């Protein structure tokens, strides 16, 4: 590649890369910050002799997880934390619905924001809550997510303890907590900038290729044109003689 072509391609790649990085930064800053907190509970089955089964039946554990995410449990969490109003105002549906409809929507909303992960053969269940609002104060979404995760664990534990026929022993191994400033799990700033750099450089290379293809003639065609002109010059001189 000749020097003019190289300089042109270099300018295109640098320009498109910088523009892509700038666009990536703007988009990343505009994306909502999602925070996640996790509470860890252990569910064990108590036998009649008081012995607790350490190797939990996976089917029984899955059933307990479904109870944990059920409407009675999540509904009690919504009442205890007043999520009907807190989340309803944060997401803009509290004042547009009556109390019953708003409550039902909040329960379904919370169900969609939690994930329950089972650690097989241990009886351990991780309760993870992800929220991006409310964001009126610093770390507000992260603190509310921690409160919801802990309240789910507390409500489920209390429900099992009050059921006379329940043989489940529930222990909160590690409550969700916030230490210092919360770090959002999304967006990933570093990853977004890296993708912007790669995309910008790739687009710049493709654009530079087509511009050079149109602007500069091919070397072979240029050489043929020069040879044709050189061969025509002696004939012209001979004709003048």
SS (H, E, C) the chain: CCHHHHHHHHHHHHHHHHHHHHHHHHHHHHCCCEEEEEEEEEEEEECCCCCEECCCCHHHHHHHHHHHCCHHHHHHHHHHHCHHHHHHHHHCCCCCCCHHHHHHHHHHHHHHHEEEEEECCCCEEEEEEEECCCCCCCCHHHHHHHHHHHHHHHHHHHHHHHCCCCCEEEEEEECCCCCCCCCCCECCHHHHHHHHHHHHHHHHHHHHHHHHHHHCCCHHHHHHHHHHHHHHHHHHHHHHC
Q: At 173, give phi and psi (nearest 5°).
A: -75, -45
Tell me, yes or no, whether 101 and 168 share the same domain: yes
Tell me, yes or no, whether 21 and 120 share the same domain: no
What pLDDT score was predicted for residue 238?
Answer: 45
Query: Do the domain assignments include residue 234?
Result: no
Query: Do the domain assignments include residue 191?
Result: yes
**Confidence category of residue 180, pLDDT binned at 50, 70, 90:** low
Residue 37 predicted with pLDDT over 90 = yes
Query: Do the domain assignments include residue 235?
Result: no
Tell me, yes or no, whether 62 and 101 share the same domain: yes
**Listed residue (118, 132, 127) closest to 154, CA to CA:** 127
Tell me, yes or no, whether 59 and 83 share the same domain: yes
Tell me, yes or no, whether 162 and 204 share the same domain: no
Tell me, yes or no, whether 78 and 99 share the same domain: yes
Instruction: Decide which of 147, 174, 201 is a domain's last residue.
Output: 174
**pLDDT digits 0-9 by tens, 64-112:** 999 999 999 999 999 999 999 999 999 989 888 898 999 999 999 999 9
Query: Do the domain assignments include residue 224?
Result: no
What pLDDT score was predicted for residue 179?
Answer: 67
What pLDDT score was predicted for residue 241?
Answer: 47
Q: What is the mean pLDDT of residues 180-209?
A: 88
Residue 197 predicted with pLDDT over 80 = yes
Tell me, yes or no, whether 90 and 153 share the same domain: yes
Query: Do the domain assignments include residue 229?
Result: no
High-pLDDT (> 70) share of the chain, %: 82
Query: Do the domain assignments include residue 230?
Result: no
Residue 51 predicted with pLDDT over 70 = no
What pLDDT score was predicted for residue 233?
Answer: 55
**Listed residue (107, 109, 121, 125) closest to 66, CA to CA:** 125
What pLDDT score was predicted for residue 226?
Answer: 54
Tell me, yes or no, whether 25 and 51 share the same domain: no
Instruction: Decide which of 174, 206, 230 is a domain's last residue.
Output: 174
**Confidence category of residue 59, pLDDT binned at 50, 70, 90:** confident
**Confidence category of residue 129, pLDDT binned at 50, 70, 90:** very high
Q: Which of 12-16, 69-73, 106-110, 127-131 has the lowest mean pLDDT?
A: 12-16
Mean pLDDT score of the chain, rounded to an integer? 84
How far, in Å, are 64, 102, 180, 236 from residue 240 at the CA level?
105, 99, 93, 6
Tell me, yes or no, whether 16 and 85 share the same domain: no
Query: Do the domain assignments include residue 164?
Result: yes
Q: What is the mean pLDDT of residues 220-225?
A: 52
Tell me, yes or no, whether 123 and 201 share the same domain: no
What CATH number is given to the structural domain containing 157? 3.30.70.1130
Tell me, yes or no, whether 27 and 48 share the same domain: no
Domain that holds residue 1: 1-31+187-216
Instruction: Decide which of 174, 196, 224 is a domain's last residue.
Output: 174
**Confidence category of residue 42, pLDDT binned at 50, 70, 90:** very high
Tell me, yes or no, whether 78 and 141 share the same domain: yes
* pTM attached to this predicted model: 0.76
CA 136 to chain centre: 21
- Provide the number of structural domains found in the chain: 2
Query: Do the domain assignments include residue 21?
Result: yes
């Amino acid at each position: 590649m000749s020097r003019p072509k190289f300089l042109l391609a270099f300018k295109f790649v640098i320009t498109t890369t910088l523009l892509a990085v700038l666009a990536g930064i703007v988009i990343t800053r505009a994306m909502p910050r999602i925070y996640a907190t996790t509470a860890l509970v252990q569910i064990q089955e108590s036998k009649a002799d008081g012995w607790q089964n350490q190797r939990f039946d996976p089917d029984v554990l899955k059933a307990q997880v479904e109870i944990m995410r059920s409407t009675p449990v999540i509904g009690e969490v919504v009442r205890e934390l007043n999520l009907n109003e807190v989340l309803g105002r944060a997401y803009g549906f509290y004042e547009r619905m009556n109390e019953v409809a708003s409550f039902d929507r909040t329960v379904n909303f919370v169900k969609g924001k939690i994930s329950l992960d089972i650690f097989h053969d241990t009886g351990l269940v991780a309760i993870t809550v992800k929220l991006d609002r409310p964001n009126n104060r610093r770390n507000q979404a992260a603190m509310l997510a921690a409160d919801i995760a802990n309240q789910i664990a507390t409500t489920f534990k209390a429900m099992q303890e009050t059921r006379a026929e329940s043989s489940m022993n529930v222990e909160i191994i590690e409550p969700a907590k916030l230490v210092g400033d919360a770090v959002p799990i999304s967006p990933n700033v570093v990853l977004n900038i890296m993708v912007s750099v790669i995309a910008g450089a790739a687009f710049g290379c493709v654009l530079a290729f087509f511009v050079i293809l149109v602007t500069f003639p091919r070397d072979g065609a240029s050489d043929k044109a020069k040879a044709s002109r050189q061969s025509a010059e002696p004939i012209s001189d001979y004709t003048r003689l």
